[in-house]
Structure 1
Amino acid sequence: MRKYDFQQSNSDHTLFMKHQRGRVTDLIIYVNDMIITGNDSGEIATLQKQLTTEFEMKNLGGLKYFLGIEVARSREGIFLSQRKYTLDLLFEVGQLECKPADTPIVQNHKLGEYPNQVPINKERYQRLVGKLIYLSHTRLDIAYVVSVVSQFMHCPSEDHMNAVMRILRYLKSSPGKGLMFSKNNHLKIEGYTDADWARNISDRKSTSGYFTFVGGNLVTWRSKKQKVVFLSSVEAEFRGIAKGLCELLWLRRLMTEIGFPPNL
């Protein structure tokens, strides 16, 4: 890509950019799958021809499906979902005809590690939770509960597997839910953070989370248990704010590199 005068992003090393005459061409790659986009149709066509001289490549046309994520366009914007991925997962575990659950986890749950818990197949549990982690790329509504069940990958029990199955039953109620990126005519960046305090019943650690918007559209989010025990809710909140600010700074730097500096 550097040979063709593309610059590698410092914010995301899988992203390559070319700016010329006020136009932008971007290429982002994951292993052997790539997306080429931008507002310079001539440069995009040239890049495709250049890449075919380097390796065998197939042009699949407009973006519709990428790494298990479905892309749908309309006049209102772009919609991302993992409907097929979700249905395939439900079919794999025999839950395609299950009774849907209203929520992804029981309110005020007490999931933890207790004596005399009944162990289960660790490999199956890890595989299912891994697939749920990937599914959370378009499903913000399961981000928190997936972060909870992923804490027991080393020694899962029946209680933990029941929690995973409840997530799957919740997904059955809305397999096509996803993210809508609407045209809002601005690039303002916003972020929100929160944290509980000593909520984990096993080690009294807190869980912090954040989510960010660009142009009024949700783009990133995270829910993660903090690494140390804090002595006050203020400390837990400040830790969550620090993580959220790091994400906001990264988004600002990335958008500036692409050529669309955000409104602050």
Structure 2
Amino acid sequence: MDVNNAFLHGDLEEEVYMKLLHGFRHSHPNKVCRLRKSLYGIKQAPRCWFKKLSDALLNFGFIQSYDDYSLFCYSRKGIQLCVLIYVDDLLISGNDSRMVQKFKEYLSKCFSMKDLGKLKYFLGIEVSRGLEGIFLSQRKYTLDIIADTGNLGCKPAATPLEQNHQLGKVESPVLADPRKYRRLVGRLLYLLHTRPELSYSVHVLSQYMQTPKEAHWEAAQRVVCFLKNSHGQGIMLSSSQDMSLTIYCDSDWSSCCKTRLSLSAFVVLLGDSPICWKTKKQDTVSHSSAEAEYRAMSDALKEVNFLRKLLHGFDVKQVPTRFFCDSKAAIYIATNPVFHERTKHIDNDCHAVRDAIKAGLINLRHIRTKE
């Protein structure tokens, strides 16, 4: 559902004044307007609108999630409704069609609403349904990127980046117009919502936003050429009843050629559906590959804790999360709380992995690198 003129519904609590419009200034030169409602353009408008909408949802019986403030859940007598808010767009899901219709009628009484029907297109993400589940893709958005960069007739690339690239050390002239590079990388960042295989490539390219070189622009163009042959790919959210979490984490030790910082990466599956992924440079230099892997486990654990709390709000019970890592040394550090030489450089917050194992939140398992 979409709200018409959403910000005009907000009630102002502060005193806000505005200059008179041009047609009234001559007749009232010394007067200003005091606003009774929020207007588009004032900084209070988004907050006032969200408060107005959240009050309406709370009056209906919804409970606001503490883990995601834009999520509201309703649960009574076996009936469950969930509402996710993005400014003036609302996604509504539920297990009772009559209750969904009753809620939509309630919203229409509170605000001027447009019912857009079943979710098909939202914020550039295309939604398709089938017996196997829900498929999310950004096909149109991807084709727009390819067309805007002039690569509709290019030869598709097999991989997003060249293997063993040296973009950090490359000698190349500075790009004459850095704005086009920043705009392209920014668009690729939004594409990561449905394209996890681009996570590492876009992470690398985003490090050169300030002074990009021509070689960096060519690398960004290669990512677009890779999209040419896979513009319809996306994420399949399976209709399977399995709601358990599984996480795979890894690290690339001392991969940054300038700072010698390591990379952390993880992907989270809900059942057999990927729902979260990330590539991030670590904050400190690791003295060994085992330490880098251990820090990667700590970063992944933060995401596990957040997702477990979020699923708890949906009344989804969780067993210990299966946590896969390909470093036996890091697993031994996590499962053995004895202090020894290899752990004295590791920050205390990384040892939260040990506490999570003791508390039964995660079940740490070894997986071979090839797997």
Q: TM-score range by the shorter chain?
A: over 0.9
The TM-score, its normalising length taken from structure 1, stands at: 0.96
Is 1:101 the counterpart of 2:157? The answer is yes
Per the TM alignment, residue 31 of structure 1 is displaced from its structure 2 partner at its CA by: 1.4
Other structure's SS at 2:306 match: helix
Other structure's SS at 1:211 match: strand
Aligned mates of 2:169, 2:88 — CA distance in 1? 40
Per the TM alignment, residue 114 of structure 1 is displaced from its structure 2 partner at its CA by: 5.6
State the AA in 2 paired with 1:225: K
Per the TM alignment, residue 184 of structure 1 is displaced from its structure 2 partner at its CA by: 2.3
Q: What is aligned with 2:290? A: 234
Structure with max Cα Rg: 2
Aligned mates of 2:234, 2:118 — CA distance in 1? 20
Q: Deviations over 1:103-142 (max 9, x none)?
A: 0000000011666632332221111101101001100111
Contact 2:249/2:300 (8 A) holds in 1 = yes
Contact 1:199/1:206 (8 A) holds in 2 = yes
Q: Deviations over 1:7-29 (max 9, x none)?
A: 11111111000001112100001
Once the two structures are superposed, the pairs formed by residues 1-264 of structure 1 within 5 Å of their partners are 1-112=57-168, 117-264=173-320
Per the TM alignment, residue 229 of structure 1 is displaced from its structure 2 partner at its CA by: 1.5
Per the TM alignment, residue 236 of structure 1 is displaced from its structure 2 partner at its CA by: 1.2
Task: Report 1 or 2 for greater relative contact order, CA contacts < 8 Å, sequence distance ≥ 6.
Answer: 1
Q: Deviations over 1:128-161 (max 9, x none)?
A: 1011010011001111100000011111111111
Aligned mates of 2:252, 2:280 — CA distance in 1? 11
Contact 2:156/2:229 (8 A) holds in 1 = yes
Contact 1:194/1:240 (8 A) holds in 2 = yes
Count of paired positions:
264
Contact 1:82/1:138 (8 A) holds in 2 = yes
Aligned mates of 2:236, 2:134 — CA distance in 1? 6
Per the TM alignment, residue 50 of structure 1 is displaced from its structure 2 partner at its CA by: 1.8
Aligned mates of 1:260, 1:42 — CA distance in 2? 23
Aligned mates of 1:183, 1:89 — CA distance in 2? 31
Q: Deviations over 1:200-258 (max 9, x none)?
A: 11111111100001112111000011122122112211111011111111111111101
Unaligned segments of structure 2, at least 5 residues: 1-56, 321-371
Unaligned segments of structure 1, at least 5 residues: none
Other structure's SS at 1:105 match: coil
The TM-score, its normalising length taken from structure 2, stands at: 0.69
Q: Deviations over 1:162-211 (max 9, x none)?
A: 11100000000110001111222211111010001111111111111000
Contact 1:186/1:263 (8 A) holds in 2 = no
Other structure's SS at 2:113 match: coil
- Please, which moves more after superposition, 138-147 or 247-256? 247-256
Contact 1:209/1:224 (8 A) holds in 2 = yes
Contact 1:187/1:263 (8 A) holds in 2 = no
Contact 1:120/1:156 (8 A) holds in 2 = no
Contact 1:193/1:210 (8 A) holds in 2 = yes
Aligned mates of 1:247, 1:116 — CA distance in 2? 38
Per the TM alignment, residue 101 of structure 1 is displaced from its structure 2 partner at its CA by: 0.3
State the AA in 1 paired with 2:270: V
Contact 1:24/1:259 (8 A) holds in 2 = no
